[in-house]
Structure 1
């Protein structure tokens, strides 16, 4: 998924940095029923007309906000830019009805602003008039610097609106090759993605940067809060647009809790987490050995010095990485298939299964997992950093009392206690953890691994065993993963979602005819099929996996905003 040029880099002025920081909010706007139906070209015209009828209220609020901002600006150049921006909005306001007719639509003779529009315009005008963080700004007695600060606050409340429209329109235009003939809203989208619209958005952002240069740290925090609040209100605007048709998003919405059970499966290492759990266990082992070094004691469990242990871990890690690449290379040496071949993939991954089991046996034999304290493992799990958005998504899932949803974690991790601790410490009620376990004697690890899930085949077996407890026709499954070991489960789930950028997963997928489709693109196609067939079939065709760049996409797809 691409983002506008303004958001590609972390550097630049405050406008660029804030867009990057809050880009996940833009995803929630993109995945709304309104935008997905719009992108598919099958949005009900009444829904579209309602949305664009709200433009008049936005334009009027922008004109007033620019008036107030110009009065506050202290620099003549800044005042000139604001006047130019205000003139553009006035032109849009005066020509709005004619422009809509050029798009092929006729606005109703009367329209009223909806609640989402009112909330944003009230927020914008309150900010522009000086009501920021609950305090009324007295412009008559304010110093020039204080008034300039207020102008910056106003631009911060306006910037996300323009940038979000530009972002959404460009994302939709990227999909036009899917079905140009069916895109009846293309003229409107072209307007929002035009050079003139982009120039306006950039002028607002550039002016915000200039007005913010002299602000204090506290005032920049206010800028950030205003920007984020404006972004959230804009997302709510798109979410609140009335939809008169069945939609594929959010995924959980159409499900009947009386008739349908839903299971969400996900991998753990590098899917939920930012580091591999084996690296974390290695760190615990080395710290434990270091304590033993300092105390000059040797127990029956801690038999290696920290230096020896670090060296051993390094050898094991290097050998694993080298042999893993050799294993994948061996699989890739076979002939590439033209059509999706699940059985061939299963046979090929048996090589990987054998390799993973040998690697685990090597770890056990080395003794590097001896002497770890269960309390230290749980503490590490509690402080383990999860991927951005993962925790929030799981929190919302476990709170869904109106749906029958169960969450399962399937992992190669050596230590289920680490996984359970990572979730339980965040009040995430994820009880279904399927992984290997470490063996203990009086809460100290013996170095043995209780083997349960070591390979892609065993992951698939656990996945299938869970599904057997449900009636197939009434049970939907979503699998979220990002490694080669997840491939078989991803393909067997009703919806397989790939997160991350594993090159080996992509290579093997291409080798065996798997199609990787960006989730938003897939949803647009599903929406078009839904209107055509009056049904949403997520079970076919086989061999398709949906890709995302963040947990925000998964959250927006499944639960909405």
Structure 2
């Protein structure tokens, strides 16, 4: 699928870089997985409260971290492998949601409608205006559980689902969710598999906010960090990656606070 849609992009805009963007806390101010899960629990009047799923995830996460060991200094490959080791935790969380049918019966329209209700509260200021200018170049790469949910937040862009690479809910022939989540992107490594496919053909700009974006930010032709996630910034420094905060200075890796700054950087890097 990636190769086919990449060829279509190449036909129309072959000289432009692809803009690959994380969703939660990059396009949005806050993580939207919680609101999505709460919506499912409320919609299905589930036997388990949302707190059950959160607490189960956190307990498994903490238990997993107990088995970590100190990594060789400067070993980026080992660091990424450690991040990818959370795959089993993420998958177990999705399987738990599927087991309890948290989203069973939810329609695509219900998901987009609920996302629409949250847009004003959750979207980063100015993000839609910036993305409108580049919507043919945009690909969303996310650990979120629903493409329809993401599209609901980005309705003005009228993106195709082919432009979103994420996990997704499964639907039956009647258009209602079976309750199952289809796993596609569970870790930073999964993100990078999708990104590397693009990088074989195009220059890439990657925009992200957290430690899960570290490999994509480093490997992109231009990496842009929004926000001030210390775990990400400290880890980049540990691996000798200098992060530039003055968008007027040349760099391949920037840290910014707003989407207005990202607009300026995209204008400067229309071609890479």
Question: Which band: TM-score by shorter chain?
Answer: 0.7 to 0.9
**2:232 is the counterpart of 1:496:** no
In the alignment, what sits opposite 1:282? Answer: 37
**2:171 is the counterpart of 1:451:** no
RMSD: 2.7
In the alignment, what sits opposite 1:517? Answer: 243
**Aligned-residue offset at 1:553:** 1.1
- Alignment check: 8 A CA contact 2:140 2:165 kept: yes
Q: How many residues align?
A: 252
**Aligned-residue offset at 1:408:** 0.6
In the alignment, what sits opposite 2:212? Answer: 485
Distance 1:323 1:518, change over 3 A: farther
In the alignment, what sits opposite 1:559? Answer: 267
In the alignment, what sits opposite 1:426? Answer: 156
In the alignment, what sits opposite 2:111? Answer: 377
Structure 1: how far apart are the matches of 2:53 and 2:259? Answer: 32
Distance 1:273 1:334, change over 3 A: same
**Aligned-residue offset at 1:418:** 1.3
Tell me the TM-score normalised to structure 2 length.
0.81
In the alignment, what sits opposite 2:79? Answer: 345
Structure 1: how far apart are the matches of 2:81 and 2:229? Answer: 21
In the alignment, what sits opposite 1:364? Answer: 98
> Which whole-Å deviations, capped at 9, do the CAs of 1:11-60 have from their partners, x for residues lacking one?
xxxxxxxxxxxxxxxxxxxxxxxxxxxxxxxxxxxxxxxxxxxxxxxxxx
**Aligned-residue offset at 1:486:** 1.6
Structure 1: how far apart are the matches of 2:235 and 2:65? Answer: 8
Distance 1:267 1:430, change over 3 A: farther
Give the 5 Å matches for 1:172-211.
Answer: none
Task: Name the SS for the 2:24 alignment partner.
Answer: coil
Note the residue ranges of structure 2 that are not aligned, 5 or more in a row: 1-11
- Alignment check: 8 A CA contact 1:267 1:410 kept: yes
Distance 1:282 1:267, change over 3 A: same
In the alignment, what sits opposite 2:126? Answer: 389
Which structure exhibits the higher relative contact order, with contacts defined as CA atoms closer than 8 Å and separated by 6 or more residues? 2
> Which whole-Å deviations, capped at 9, do the CAs of 1:139-160 have from their partners, x for residues lacking one?
xxxxxxxxxxxxxxxxxxxxxx
Runs of 4+ in 1 over 6 A off after TM superposition: none
More helix, by proportion: 1
Task: Name the SS for the 1:517 alignment partner.
Answer: coil
Distance 1:477 1:360, change over 3 A: same
Tell me the TM-score normalised to structure 1 length.
0.41
Structure 1: how far apart are the matches of 2:160 and 2:242? Answer: 29
- Alignment check: 8 A CA contact 2:151 2:159 kept: no
